[in-house]
Amino acid sequence: MTITQGHYYILYSKCPQNLIENFEKKHGEPLLYKDGLGQYTHENKLIKEYICKYYCCQELKISDRTLNKAIDNNMLYNNYYFKKMGSKLKVL
């Protein structure tokens, strides 16, 4: 489960399994963040959301400086654009 906000995780995890499965089938696994980052194709299609730059750097094995440069200059890095997504504290 990728939900990082404690209260939401507790409420979500206490739901009956069939409700969780139905929700995720329709909407995907919930991902909440305060300062999100998106990874986009060169056609501006979102392919991955990160809850913060740190997790993006960790997963893609890139430096914070390189990621900031790609974001600030709106330039491709490894064939992807990276853009700040702001806050997402609700799923629906």
* Boundaries of every domain in the chain: 1-32, 33-87
| Pairwise CA distance, residues 47 & 11, whole Å | 27
Helix residue ranges, H only, the chain: 6-13, 17-27, 53-60, 64-72
> Rg for the chain (alpha carbons), in Å?
15
Q: What pLDDT, in 10s, does the model give residues 38-86?
A: 999 999 999 998 888 888 999 999 999 999 999 999 999 999 999 988 7
User: In this predicted structure, what is the pLDDT of residue 54?
Assistant: 86
pLDDT of 9 above 60: no
Q: What pLDDT, in 10s, does the model give residues 21-35?
A: 888 888 777 766 667
pLDDT of 3 above 60: no
What CATH number does the domain located at 33-87 have?
1.10.10
| Pairwise CA distance, residues 25 & 51, whole Å | 21
